[in-house]
Amino acid sequence: MDQSSPHILTEGQKRLLAMMPELADCNFPQVRDTIPAHFYTDPARFDAEKVAVFRRKPVIACPSSLLAEPRSHYQVDITGMPVLITRTKDGTIKAFANVCRHRGMKLCVEKDPVHAGRIVCPYHAWTYDLDGKLIGLPRSEIFPGLAKLDLGLVELPCADAGGLVWVGLDPDSPPDFSTVTGELAEDFRALGMHETFVYDHATFETKANWKLIMDSMLDSYHVTRLHKDSLARFGVDSENMIDRIGPHIRNAAHRNTFQKALVNDRFEDMRQIMIFSYIGFPNGIIVVSPDYVSLGVVRPIATDRTEIDYYLLAYGKPETEKMENRLRRSFDLMRRVFAEEDYWAAEMCDQGLRSGTLKEVQLGGMEVQIRMFQDAVTTALEEAGHAA
């Protein structure tokens, strides 16, 4: 991030900052709520969510900087759709179904980004360029009348917004990208996310419903308790300021260094004394730290199984051994915290809820974002004609 041209916070971000009290003046919300337990365990609801939420709304595939260079591509599976993200030679981001038009083979199977100007199917070597055009196939004479122009990759609607690649998983029905290209993208640009690079990333497979993974970042109640031996030293129980950007959630929380007198509109200053975090509906978790951004991309697999891609997005490549060591320690810490604490807790909750013991789960005043997220899921179900 260029320190010579400071990033100025948006009006929405400044509004939340202005509402933040001194730590000594925090008033914790006295709110009690419940969520039906079957929201997390019902297979029929999960199937409906895959259609109404993940096939009809823009979903996050990866950070834009994962494909930092032109002529590169990356694949990821999202709720059963194999997705291929490319950055063409002119730097444009595109998305396609990662499916060969010959026999349905997955074209790209590598787990990491690939730098190459073309994609060759590993089955029969049909070859495509990064614009999705079929440019070659062996023994073309055995396919009489085949027109390569008719058999390009199936393109998926996508948007490169605020440093994230958003994709529509239904090629015949583009989602409304205005929910991610407007105020939300402006916020992310104010946080410098479009200028970050992927320092490192990891994928976690968790035996838990995807909404329990989202809950782990929608609940400020657990931070100083579940993470008492890890992250608690960086945080403090505080009165979070929360609002919505459409279906997305924006949150401002105190660091233990927060002082009202220090509040200004420069992100470079504010990230030292407070924490911005976002839920990019439906599957993105964004938390801003002083030196980096944590991005979680949640990918439901089954009603009780979820994969999560974690990216540590750094503000500039480390130029000193000290900074390299600091980022490496941060990445190792977050990987351990997620695997051994957050996702462990999600798995234990999933097992408890599947026992049928509870009809509902209890929420308190530091868990109100869970209700906000669940309401957004329910609204999507109702819009698609599914019973909530």
Q: What is the CATH number of the domain that holds 137?
A: 2.102.10.10
Instruction: Indicate if 103 and 241 belong to the same structural domain.
Output: no
Residue-wise pLDDT for 107-148, tens only, equals: 999 999 999 999 999 999 999 999 999 999 999 999 999 999
Query: What global pTM score does this model have?
Result: 0.95
The residues that bridge with 72 in the sheet, in sequence order, are 87, 115
Of the candidates 159, 143, 160, 141, the residue with the CA atom closest to the CA atom of residue 151: 143
> ∠165-167-170 over CA atoms, to 5°?
170
User: Which secondary-structure segment (H or E) carries 158?
Assistant: strand 158-161
The residue type at 212: L
Return d(Cα 114, Cα 110) in angstroms, integer.
Answer: 8
8 Å CB contact between 299 and 307 = yes
The residues that bridge with 302 in the sheet, in sequence order, are 305
User: What residues contact 115, with CB distance under 8 A and at least 6 apart?
Assistant: 69, 71, 72
* Residue listed under structure tokens 């980096």: 292
User: What residues contact 109, with CB distance under 8 A and at least 6 apart?
Assistant: 75, 122
Q: Write down which residue in 101, 122, 156 finishes a domain.
A: 156
Q: Write down which residue in 156, 187, 222 finishes a domain.
A: 156
Give the relative orientation of helices 210-218 and 368-383 as an angle to the nearest 10 degrees.
140
DSSP string, 342-385: IHHHHHHHHHHHHTT--SEEEE-TT-HHHHHHHHHHHHHHHHTT
Instruction: Indicate if 21 and 95 belong to the same structural domain.
Output: no
* pLDDT at residue number 221: 85
* pLDDT at residue number 222: 86
* pLDDT at residue number 229: 85
Residue-wise pLDDT for 226-241, tens only, equals: 888 888 677 778 889 9
Complete edge-to-edge strand list for the sheet that includes strand 158-161 = 59-63, 164-167, 158-161
8 Å CB contact between 35 and 374 = yes
* pLDDT at residue number 14: 98
Q: Is residue 110 part of a domain?
A: yes
Alpha carbon distance, N-terminus to C-terminus of the chain:
44
Instruction: Indicate if 221 and 328 belong to the same structural domain.
Output: yes
Instruction: Indicate if 151 and 221 belong to the same structural domain.
Output: no
Complete edge-to-edge strand list for the sheet that includes strand 127-129 = 118-120, 127-129, 134-136
The domain in which residue 80 lies consists of 69-156
Q: What is the mean pLDDT of the chain?
A: 95
CA 294 vs CA 124, 191, 200: distances in Å: 39, 12, 11
Q: Is residue 91 part of a domain?
A: yes
Q: Is residue 21 part of a domain?
A: yes
* pLDDT at residue number 227: 86
Instruction: Indicate if 150 and 270 belong to the same structural domain.
Output: no
Tokens in use for 129?
């360029």
User: Which secondary-structure segment (H or E) carries 267?
Assistant: helix 267-270
The residue type at 377: V
Q: 3-state class of 386 per DSSP?
A: coil
* pLDDT at residue number 1: 55
Q: Is the peptide bond before 70 cis (omega within 30 degrees of 0)?
A: no
* Residue listed under structure tokens 């990445």: 331
Return d(Cα 135, Cα 148) in angstroms, integer.
Answer: 7
Instruction: Indicate if 282 and 326 belong to the same structural domain.
Output: yes
Tokens in use for 68?
């930092």
Reading the chain (388 residues) residue by residue, the pLDDT tens digits are 554 467 999 999 999 999 999 999 999 889 999 999 999 999 999 999 999 999 999 999 999 999 999 999 999 999 999 999 999 999 999 999 999 999 999 999 999 999 999 999 999 999 999 999 999 999 999 999 999 999 999 999 999 999 999 999 999 999 999 999 999 999 999 999 999 999 999 999 999 999 999 998 898 888 889 888 888 677 778 889 999 999 999 999 999 899 999 999 999 999 999 999 999 999 999 999 999 999 999 999 999 999 999 999 999 889 999 999 999 999 999 999 989 999 999 999 999 999 999 999 999 999 999 999 999 999 999 999 886 6
8 Å CB contact between 166 and 272 = no
* pLDDT at residue number 233: 77
Q: Is residue 301 part of a domain?
A: yes
> ∠188-192-194 over CA atoms, to 5°?
75
Instruction: Indicate if 232 and 375 belong to the same structural domain.
Output: yes
